[in-house]
Amino acid sequence: MGARSRQPSRIRNLTAVLAISAAVATPAAACSSSASSPGAANVNSANQPKNPTLVITANDISGGKNAAEADWITKTLIPDFVKAEAAKGITATVTFRPNGVDDTAYKSKLALDLQSGTGDDVFALDGIWVGEFADAGYLKPLADVAGSQVHDWDGWKQITDAVQALGEYQGKRYGVPNGTDGRVIYYNKKLFAQAGLPADWQPKSWQDIYDAAAKLKTLSGVTPVQWDGGVPMGEATTIQGFLPLLAGNGGSLYAGGKWQQPGKAFKAALGFYQQIYGNGFGDAVLQQDAKGRDKSFAEFAAGKIGIYAESDYMWRSVVNPKNGTAPMPDRDTDVGYALIPAQTPGAGVNSQDFVSYSGGSDWSINPKTKYPQAAWDFLAFMNSNAETVSRLGGAAKITARSDVNSQVLAGDPMLKFVNDKVLPITSFRPSLAAYNDVSTLVQKAVADVVGGKSPDEAAATYEKGLEALVGKDGIASGG
Amino acid sequence: MRDTSAAAAAASDPGAVVRKIGRYTFLSVLLGFFALPMLWLASAPFNAHPTLNVSISSFTLHNFSVLLKDPYALPSLWNSLLLAGGTALLTVGFAAAAAYALSRVRVPGRNGILYALLLLSSIVTGTAAMVPLFQLAFKLHLIDSRLGVILVFTGGLLPAAIFILKDFTDNTPKSYEESARVFGASPFQIIRHIVLPMIRPGLATVTVWAVVNVWGNFLIPYILVRNPDKYPASVVLYTFYTEGGQPNLDLISAFSLLYSIPVIVLYLFVSHRYGFRFHGGIKR
Amino acid sequence: MARTASPRAAEDPAGLGRARAAGIAAPALLVVLAFLVFPALWTLYLGTTNYRLTGFAARHPHSVGLDNYTNVVKDPAFHHSLWLTFEYVVGSAVLGQALLGFAIAWLLREAAGWLKRLIEALVLLAWILPSSVVAFLWSALLDRDQGTFNALAHTQGTAWVVEHPMAVIIVFNIWRGTAFSMLLYSAALTGVPPTQLATARMFGANQWQQLRDVVFPHIRGHILTNLLLISLWTFNDFTPYQLTGGADTRSQILPVYIYQTALFDGQMGLGAAIALLMLVINLVVALVYLRLLRERRGERTA
């Protein structure tokens, strides 16, 4: 019954227990002992341990969520790494600890492990968690953990500055980005043909979207537009729906060290929702459904939705004829994709005509690892060109590395489109501890408008919530 | 028995006929109300591409054969059995002993203490206690240990289990115990041969209740267990989603059925073997 | 069930003695102290801090005194949530489960064996299925476009969970939890002497009068036990979030509110404070029930 893990990491856990056993039973005390992290500065390859043991964790599990990555880690990456280390005279023991559950649950477990002073040596985390994990002391700059060799890694040259920002916080590197994505507008070419719209469609302004929606509305049984707009959709509403609209007016949630007061751009973005859902172009009820996102995907796959703003995830994992959750056998011919336009040409951030938003995850190192050198070697190894290519296993996916992207994306025109056309114009969310709460406020504001309130009203509620969250001093006027 | 008297009454009283029709209409509606939601569990697992619709458009066992190959799916049912069985064993054993002691030996303020514990248990079974429970298990070296999960569950379930079982023991006649004592039986013989058989339906009920509570709980085993080979089915069910959180209904529906079968079998067994009966009511 | 003849003299009939009684109660008490009382008190302590799972407050939580409590008590969202919880508990537990459970128990006394077994089995099945499975069952039942209910009731296009969230979770919880009341009442009804019912019928008492004058006095204690437990359980049940998604404030009952605050937003201190407030409310509810119980004893001795 009480069988404990026989893995060597147990030993590390025990020392951590000893370190804090004197502490009073509060999480505060448990954390305050974190001062004694292994001295990072004296890490160098000359005196590194010959038998490092590493435990790797990610929100992947064989047979379930992200199964392909889990299988790659255990069957290819770890054996390859052990072999490579053996060539250097080091006997590494590496185990993978799968999770594969809801992201919030994974984040909680990661946080609990790290705050108790244990946790696995190398782990994956969402880019927007970096700030709150760093503030909590769960993460330290990579160079503080593994030494300045981190900056000498040749892989950085292959990762654009924008993508590197996914692993950065306050100008320091906390993790190696694993991949990224981009938001586009998908459309159903069959429905477009029926409505007399072009097969090769690229809206240049929001008005173009309204016009197309009005034509699609004449088809019976068709919802012209799905633009994520409900609280149950969570972050999808913020990043898929609202942020590209905000950027389409040159606005952002956070700029110059302050959260932005909801101004003209903010209200205009809400105005887009008013147009879509006020005119019956979108299915307002679906936005409130707890299964709204699943159902929207299923409806798009069934040819009942004309225009859909989503990330390349939808193409790869939802409507993918091979393994999608809502497969479309004729995806390649039936589904078109276009850039998200600014409200009017040139009105977007940096005076862009088109905009997008991106996210992505990182791999990082536990500051309390006993083997920082081995952990860094593992990170560098797993993000090398060869291993990144092998991770994809023939499937197309946008990685953090430009060299890999140009090699593997040629076979998938949609992902190539995202890589070539979307990533250069995309924006990233602020990696700040307060982001999660601000995002929830955004979702509520959007839901208010979808539910019939005016953008002014919804923006006022948002501003009140923002003030309560970050204080008046944390907010800059304008926006 | 009652049927005959009801029939006799029905013959003499037209109102009784109406009542009888009313009764059976009500029971039919009831049957529909309780059965209707379960149709999905009977149809979706056998559908090649299940949706939220109740239909079998193309019958297949493919979803199950995929699960057979999953490294965690079937072992997780065994893990659930270990966690639920262990918790039920500890909960029922400890609760029965404590309930008997509290029922038969006067302890000042025993009811007040029991109520207080019952109230506290609502905190620990909620989400707010996640950090303390984790830290406690961590300090006792019970992370990634099934015993740790079992103890945390047992702590949360014990007050209600004692509460229910104390009701049972309060209601059993003490005269048997007294006569056994007159004939020289030791207190433990009395408990084993007289008290336990009398409260057996209660023990069976609390066992099922404890198993069901453990069987469905996701959060506690997830935060306390590290090695996925020890994940119970409640955790594994949550792994059949995509990176973006879309459910894989093929696997979820099939696994839901497998996941439900053990508790159904347990219910059938207990109800057949021990009867599934409560005795309740605060008697003091 | 037969009652003991001499309640006072029968204290400790097995001759256990205080020491041995303490001995057999000890394992339960130890587990409860270690895994219930200790973490519960710790949670209450967290309720006086600004502790969060991540971010700056995770590293340096500090005491905020009673701020969490005053903030919560002043928060209209909390009042709203409390009111919804009240509706939920009264609607689904006190009225729904208890009444339906009693009705089933009462009607099934006279039903044929197979019908009785079938209904009991279905009601119990609803109780023992894992909650994550049950959530899928109800999503499939009430789905706007493909749901079984809309197809049968010819109400296509009605998104029940969106349009009537409170009604849905109340009906859901009645479905989910009636089994406990049914079991308890059918056991209780076996303790009602049939002769008294027969006598009442002979004097022309109708069904309602029989229930009021004969059955009710006999099962009053069971009713109170039942209400106490199902109210407490319903009060603390966060299963509805799996149906509603948890974010809809129109159906955000307190346990769901805590779930959102503590787990989703990571505000552990605040979540713990709300948990204590809930405990106090539960205590008040328990005291009300106990007061009713005391009145019963008064009646008896009178």
CATH number at residue C283: 1.10.3720.10
Burial of B117-152, coded b for 16+ CB within 10 Å and e otherwise, reads bbbbbbbbbbbbbbbbbbbbbbbeebbbbbbbbbbb
- Check whether C196 has a pLDDT greater than 90: no
Q: Is B152 on the interface with C (CB under 8 A)?
A: yes
Q: Are residues A156 and A194 in the same domain?
A: no
Contact residues on chain C for B97, CB-CB shorter than 8 A:
24-25, 27-28
Contacts of B52 (CB under 8 A, 6+ apart): A291, B40, C139, C140, C143, C146, C147
A218, A299 in Cβ contact below 8 A? no
User: Number of CB pairs < 8 Å for B and C?
Assistant: 317
Task: Find the angle CA(B238)-CA(C174)-CA(C118) to the nearest 5 degrees.
Answer: 90
Stretch A206-231: mean pLDDT: 96
The per-residue pLDDT for range A456-470, each reduced to its tens digit, is 999 999 999 999 889
Q: Is there a domain that residue C109 lies in? A: yes
Assign B208 a pLDDT band (cuts: 50, 70, 90): confident
Q: Are residues A208 and A312 in the same domain?
A: yes
Q: Under an 8 A CB cutoff, do A3 and B146 touch?
A: yes
Assign C295 a pLDDT band (cuts: 50, 70, 90): low
Q: Under an 8 A CB cutoff, do C134 and B37 touch?
A: yes
CATH number at residue A450: 3.40.190.10
What pLDDT, on a 0 to 100 scale, did the predictor assign at position B276? 55
Could you give the C-alpha distances from B93 to A154, B162, B200, C16, in angstroms and in order? Answer: 62, 10, 12, 17
Q: Is B235 on the interface with A (CB under 8 A)?
A: yes
- Nearest alpha carbon to residue A121 among A361, A362, A378, A360: A378
Chains with at least 3 CB pairs less than 8 angstroms from chain A: B, C
Q: Among A31-40, A278-287, B214-223, C214-223, whose mean pLDDT is lowest? A: A31-40
Q: Are residues A395 and A250 in the same domain?
A: no
- Check whether A479 has a pLDDT greater than 60: no
Stretch A427-450: mean pLDDT: 92
d(CA A333, CA A336): 8
- The number of domains in chain C is 1
- Nearest alpha carbon to residue A281 among A332, A203, A224: A224
Q: Under an 8 A CB cutoff, do C56 and A440 touch?
A: no
Q: Are residues A260 and A373 in the same domain?
A: no
Q: Is B246 on the interface with A (CB under 8 A)?
A: yes
Assign C50 a pLDDT band (cuts: 50, 70, 90): very high
Q: Is the dihedral of CA A314, A319, A323, A326 positive or negative?
A: positive
- Nearest alpha carbon to residue A391 among A80, A77, A58: A77
- Check whether B4 has a pLDDT greater than 70: no
Q: Are residues A277 and A156 in the same domain?
A: no
DSSP secondary structure letters along B216-265: H--HHHHHH---GGG--HHHHHTTSB-TT--B-HHHHHHHHHHHHHHHHH
Q: Under an 8 A CB cutoff, do A285 and C144 touch?
A: yes
What pLDDT, on a 0 to 100 scale, did the predictor assign at position C9? 39
Q: Is there a domain that residue A289 lies in? A: yes
Q: Under an 8 A CB cutoff, do B72 and A294 touch?
A: no
Q: Is C74 on the interface with A (CB under 8 A)?
A: no
B37, C138 in Cβ contact below 8 A? yes
10 Å CB burial of residue C196 (0-12, 13-18, 19+) is: middle
B195, C14 in Cβ contact below 8 A? yes
Q: Are residues A295 and A349 in the same domain?
A: yes
Q: Is there a domain that residue A353 lies in? A: yes
Q: Among A401-405, B9-13, C104-108, whose mean pLDDT is lowest? A: B9-13
Q: Is C196 on the interface with B (CB under 8 A)?
A: no
d(CA A138, CA B28): 58
Contact residues on chain A for C60, CB-CB shorter than 8 A:
28, 31
Stretch C228-257: mean pLDDT: 86
Q: Are residues A410 and A438 in the same domain?
A: no
- Check whether A30 has a pLDDT greater than 70: no
Q: Under an 8 A CB cutoff, do B104 and C141 touch?
A: no
Rounded to the nearest integer, the mean pLDDT of chain A is 89
Nearest to C61 among A28, A135, A443 (CB): A28
Assign C298 a pLDDT band (cuts: 50, 70, 90): very low
What pLDDT, on a 0 to 100 scale, did the predictor assign at position B200? 81
Range of the domain at C70: 21-301
B204, B241 in Cβ contact below 8 A? no
d(CA C179, CA A103): 34
- Check whether B108 has a pLDDT greater than 70: yes
B208, B276 in Cβ contact below 8 A? yes
Mutation pick from A6, A109, A233, A313 vs chain B, by most beta carbons of B within 10 Å, is: A109
Which residues of C, range 69-88, sit inside 8 Å of B by Cβ?
A: none
User: Number of CB pairs < 8 Å for A and B?
Assistant: 111
Q: Are residues A343 and A380 in the same domain?
A: no
Q: Is there a domain that residue C32 lies in? A: yes
Q: Under an 8 A CB cutoff, do B219 and A105 touch?
A: yes
C234, C88 in Cβ contact below 8 A? yes
Are β-strands A53-57 and A361-365 bridged in parallel, bridged antiparallel, or unpaired? unpaired
- The token pair at C95 is 């009225």
Q: Under an 8 A CB cutoff, do A27 and B131 touch?
A: yes
For residue C112, the SS3 value is: coil
Task: Find the angle CA(A205)-CA(A207)-CA(A208) to the nearest 5 degrees.
Answer: 70
Q: Which residue of B has its CA nearest to C267?
A: B128
What pLDDT, on a 0 to 100 scale, did the predictor assign at position C15? 77
- The token pair at C163 is 């349009």
Q: Is C104 on the interface with B (CB under 8 A)?
A: yes
Q: Among A3-17, A35-49, A180-194, B225-239, whose mean pLDDT is lowest? A: A3-17
d(CA A31, CA B76): 33
- The token pair at A342 is 């600014």
d(CA C242, CA C255): 12
- Check whether A29 has a pLDDT greater than 50: no
Mean pLDDT comparison of B197-211, C15-29, C77-91, highest-scoring range: C77-91
The per-residue pLDDT for range A344-393, each reduced to its tens digit, is 999 999 999 999 999 999 999 999 999 999 999 999 999 999 999 999 98
The per-residue pLDDT for range B127-161, each reduced to its tens digit, is 888 999 999 999 999 999 999 999 999 999 999 99
What pLDDT, on a 0 to 100 scale, did the predictor assign at position B58? 80
d(CA B245, CA B241): 5
- The token pair at A479 is 């926006």
Q: Under an 8 A CB cutoff, do B105 and C17 touch?
A: yes
For residue C266, the SS3 value is: coil
Mutation pick from B141, B223, B226, B227 vs chain A, by most beta carbons of A within 10 Å, is: B226
Q: Under an 8 A CB cutoff, do B132 and C42 touch?
A: yes
Q: Is there a domain that residue A224 lies in? A: yes
Chains with at least 3 CB pairs less than 8 angstroms from chain C: A, B
What pLDDT, on a 0 to 100 scale, did the predictor assign at position C244? 85
DSSP secondary structure letters along A143-194: HHHH-THHHH-GGGGGS-HHHHGGGEETTEE--EE-B---EEEEEEHHHHHH
- Check whether B1 has a pLDDT greater than 50: no
- Single residue among A400, A419, A438 that ends a domain in this structure: A419
Helices marked H in A195-346 — which ranges? 206-216, 235-236, 243-247, 264-278, 284-288, 292-301, 312-313, 331-334
Q: Is A336 on the interface with B (CB under 8 A)?
A: no
Q: Are residues A403 and A291 in the same domain?
A: no
d(CA A310, CA A181): 10
Which residues of B, range 238-277, sit inside 8 Å of C by Cβ?
A: 238, 252-253, 256, 259-260, 263-264, 266-267, 271, 276-277
- The token pair at C91 is 């609607």
Contact residues on chain A for C74, CB-CB shorter than 8 A:
none
Q: Under an 8 A CB cutoff, do C125 and B267 touch?
A: yes
Range of the domain at A403: 12-179+361-419
What pLDDT, on a 0 to 100 scale, did the predictor assign at position A478? 58
What pLDDT, on a 0 to 100 scale, did the predictor assign at position B277? 54
Stretch A93-97: mean pLDDT: 96
The amino acid present at A77, given as its one-letter code, is L
- The number of domains in chain A is 2
Nearest to B27 among C107, C131, C147 (CB): C107
Which residues of C, range 36-55, sit inside 8 Å of A by Cβ?
A: 42, 45-46, 49, 51, 53-55
Q: Is there a domain that residue A4 lies in? A: no
- Nearest alpha carbon to residue C240 among C221, C225, C260: C260
The per-residue pLDDT for range A392-419, each reduced to its tens digit, is 988 889 999 999 999 899 889 999 999 9
Q: Is there a domain that residue A7 lies in? A: no
Q: Under an 8 A CB cutoff, do A5 and B223 touch?
A: no
User: Number of CB pairs < 8 Å for A and C?
Assistant: 92
Q: Are residues A459 and A410 in the same domain?
A: no
Contact residues on chain C for A433, CB-CB shorter than 8 A:
54-56
- Check whether C213 has a pLDDT greater than 90: no
Q: Which residue of A has its CA nearest to C160?
A: A289
Q: Are residues A217 and A117 in the same domain?
A: no
Q: Under an 8 A CB cutoff, do A103 and B245 touch?
A: yes
How is residue A4 annotated by DSSP? Answer: P
Q: Among B27-41, B66-80, B259-273, whose mean pLDDT is lowest? A: B259-273
What pLDDT, on a 0 to 100 scale, did the predictor assign at position A427? 94
Q: Are residues A447 and A463 in the same domain?
A: yes
Stretch A234-249: mean pLDDT: 96
Percent of chain B exceeding pLDDT 90 equals 45
Go through the domains of chain B in sequence order and give each one's CATH number. 2-60 (no CATH), 65-273 (1.10.3720.10)
Distance (Å) from the alpha carbon of A137 to chain C's nearest alpha carbon:
6
- Check whether A15 has a pLDDT greater than 60: no
- The token pair at B17 is 């006929």
